Structure 1
Amino acid sequence: MTISPDALLARTRELADSLLVPDAARVDQGEVPASHLDAIRRSGVLGVSSPEAYGGAGAPDSVAREIQEILAGACGSTWFVQTQHHTPVRMLAKSRLPVRERLLRPLASGERLAGIAYAHVRSFPRVPVRATAESDGWRFDGTVPWYTGWGLNDVMLLAGVTDSAEIVFAFADAREQPGVRASEPMRLAAFTAARTVSLELDGLWLPESSVVLRTPQEEFALLDIPRSTNTSPAVFGVTYAALRVLEGGGEAETAGALRVRVEEVRRAAYELADHPVAHEHVEERLALRTRAYDLMRAATTAAVVAGGGRTMDLRNPAQRLAREGMFLLIQGQTSVVRRAHLDALADR
């Protein structure tokens, strides 16, 4: 039976309160445990945006965003692994190619967990990964600079660019195999626990049946605008978590003043995210994203200041949230986003 959006939100809050929040400090200093991901698989969260016919919840984007806020504020590293899953699911749901029937149901149900290996295509005209048609399939060569969830997820959505500037998206098993070699997990300022690696591709061959989308680079760039210019729900999730730390430390007045401003920006950002023409109002989207960053920094800084010397303990939630907020400043960053953010900082 399909779970309702309200029930899915309730499950997410229970999962956050009973499992993720109590264990967040330990996970931050170690590795996202398979048991956390198993709990997320069972919760139905991984199918929040999937069609009901394929075992998903078919929930509206507003519900999907709130779920990401809850998870990001509860345990950033666990959030970071599972958030990779949703783009492959959405792409499969829109596809009419054979791979949809093979993968959409197991991904929507949580039977399998997906990661993404395609952010590098945003660096075009530089081509870190090249795709070449070969023997009823595609050969991939190059370097995937960032792949999160290595050893934790089951499949990855990989992309490469052809000589004719077409982007080929295809699914591969997320494991070492002929043509794929992973680095050691990176040590990062935040989210080290999410097992991010780089991947060296040397002749990885995938059959045509693994392809979920082929699109000209110019068309992808247009579709990618809302993904890169809209504010990530995780920014609000971390901000709200920091405000809760402030309130718990007896700084309710400061937290309340910040919360009013956060709610205003959140409402405006999500209204634009729901705009029927996704690539319009780019300047407004970027301005709101920058304001959301400012408020996230203010909230996490306030939590650190209020906590004093205790916040330098790596187990302290204020310090962890500040590091996670720093990471979110550059997550999904494009040259357009970077320029808008730097210009806004310079104008102050």
Structure 2
Amino acid sequence: MTTTAHPLVTAARRLARELLLPQAERVDQEEVPASHVEALRRAGLLGVGAPREYGGADAPVAVARETAEILAGACCSTWFVQTQHHTPVKLIATYDSPVREKLLRPLATGGLMAGIAFAHVRAFPRVPVRAVAERGGWRFDGRVPWYTGWGLNDVMLLAGVTDAGKVVFVVADAREQPGLTPSAPMRLAALTAARTVSLELDGLWVPEESVVLRMGQEEFARVDLPRAANAGPAVFGVADAALELVARSPEGEETARVLRERLDAVRRESYELADHPVPHACVPQRLAVRTRAYDVMRAATTAAIVAGGGRAMALDSRAQRLAREGMFLLVQGQTAEARRAHLGSLAAG
């Protein structure tokens, strides 16, 4: 994306080159190993956006984006596991709660790894997970359809919705316990390696001091909308990696050049919109640019398959892995509004 000399960008490039990329096809067919998470911790990449006073790097958003692109382009499964971690870190750092002093430093330094269990809140008015005040804490019942990083994460940011329409976010241990039962690891078309399970909650109790924040369902949707309308860095990282493969083929140099120009243009526009000083501004434009980013990514991964020929059908083919990862990114973090915008664009041709 840039030639940024920030030490975390340098560390991400080294990690991608020496560890993630050489092992990516094997990891894709197995699972993200704990050693990958440890390598991210040692490199300081688990604290990229965390406050300095708690041991984080407090790096600029451009650095966070570039490191995310690098990691996703090298091994999307590893990127997906670690990207879950940054949301709890940001939320805990933003809101004053007892959790901040207890957990923010170990999370910022990578001593603890966190996951997220709240995407189901977007299903409102359905309430897949219900939260009820009980015995000086909160009881959670229902089903978390997707939870990534099981067996790698120490804690998770869990959310449920009260009968009054409030979303309650808590930190809970990411382990089987009374009231929490994980499914077997899911077999998926892409990113099976990211250790995704569903969680059955049947009276999981979490103490009040583990609450990070409460907000109304409508406020959650308002805060979530602009974030979900933007194209994520992983889209650009996977597209970049695919174009590197295309450029290496004898017939692909010109195709790679043209598609890279398109990719660079949509990346610039996407990040400019994401940095708009008014978070809720330009949502239709953000969605349109997000769709264009998907189009370029899909063209890049398709070109990598074409350039690879029959070899691309092998499960250990990098081109095929990138194409499947691109398919995953089409629905990752998807909202109903984003889905409508993308389908409308496809129908319009």
Tell me the TM-score normalized by structure 2: 0.98
Partner of 1:13: 13
Letter in 1 for 2:51: P
Partner of 2:74: 74
Secondary structure at the aligned position of 1:106 is classed as helix
Alignment of 1:87-236 (within 5 A): 87-236=87-236
Are the aligned partners of 1:238 and 1:321 in contact in 2 as well (CA < 8 Å)? yes
Are the aligned partners of 1:225 and 1:278 in contact in 2 as well (CA < 8 Å)? no
Partner of 1:317: 318
Deviation digits for residues 134-154 of structure 1 (CA, Å, limit 9, x no counterpart): 111000000000000001111
> Shift of residue 86 of structure 1?
0.6
Secondary structure at the aligned position of 1:329 is classed as helix
> Shift of residue 14 of structure 1?
0.2
Are the aligned partners of 1:121 and 1:159 in contact in 2 as well (CA < 8 Å)? yes
Among all aligned residue pairs of Structure 1 and Structure 2, give the percentage whose two residues are the same amino acid: 68
Letter in 2 for 1:196: T
Deviation digits for residues 30-78 of structure 1 (CA, Å, limit 9, x no counterpart): 0111111100011111111111101001111111111110000000111
Distance 1:239 1:152 in 2: 27
Partner of 1:302: 303
Deviation digits for residues 251-287 of structure 1 (CA, Å, limit 9, x no counterpart): 2211010000100000010001111111110001000
Deviation digits for residues 270-308 of structure 1 (CA, Å, limit 9, x no counterpart): 001111111110001000000000000000000001111
Unpaired segments of 5 or more residues in structure 2? none
Deviation digits for residues 179-208 of structure 1 (CA, Å, limit 9, x no counterpart): 000000000000001110000000000001
Aligned CA RMSD, in angstroms, stands at: 0.9
Are the aligned partners of 1:5 and 1:59 in contact in 2 as well (CA < 8 Å)? no
Deviation digits for residues 94-137 of structure 1 (CA, Å, limit 9, x no counterpart): 01111011111100000010000000000000000000001110
Secondary structure at the aligned position of 1:150 is classed as coil
Letter in 2 for 1:343: G
Letter in 1 for 2:175: R
Partner of 2:289: 288
Secondary structure at the aligned position of 2:228 is classed as helix
Letter in 1 for 2:59: A
Distance 2:305 2:277 in 1: 39
Distance 1:247 1:67 in 2: 22
Secondary structure at the aligned position of 1:227 is classed as helix
Distance 2:60 2:279 in 1: 16
Distance 1:148 1:249 in 2: 35
Comparing 337-346 with 241-250, greater Cα deviation is found at 241-250
> Shift of residue 82 of structure 1?
0.5
Are the aligned partners of 1:180 and 1:201 in contact in 2 as well (CA < 8 Å)? yes
Letter in 1 for 2:19: L
Deviation digits for residues 194-235 of structure 1 (CA, Å, limit 9, x no counterpart): 110000000000001101110011111111012210101100
Alpha-carbon spacing, 1:92–1:150, altered in 2? closer, same or farther (3 Å) = same
Partner of 1:333: 334
> Shift of residue 5 of structure 1?
7.4
Are the aligned partners of 1:5 and 1:57 in contact in 2 as well (CA < 8 Å)? no
Partner of 1:28: 28
Secondary structure at the aligned position of 2:260 is classed as helix
Letter in 2 for 1:342: L
Distance 1:46 1:176 in 2: 24
Are the aligned partners of 1:129 and 1:160 in contact in 2 as well (CA < 8 Å)? yes
Partner of 1:257: 258
Q: How many pairs were matched up? A: 345
Distance 1:249 1:23 in 2: 22
Letter in 2 for 1:345: L
- The runs of at least 4 aligned residues of structure 1 exceeding 4 Å deviation read none
Partner of 1:62: 62
Comparing 5-14 with 112-121, greater Cα deviation is found at 5-14
Are the aligned partners of 1:68 and 1:79 in contact in 2 as well (CA < 8 Å)? yes
Unpaired segments of 5 or more residues in structure 1? none
Letter in 2 for 1:319: Q
Partner of 1:278: 279
Letter in 2 for 1:211: V
Distance 2:314 2:48 in 1: 36
Secondary structure at the aligned position of 1:79 is classed as helix
Deviation digits for residues 325-345 of structure 1 (CA, Å, limit 9, x no counterpart): 001000011100000000000
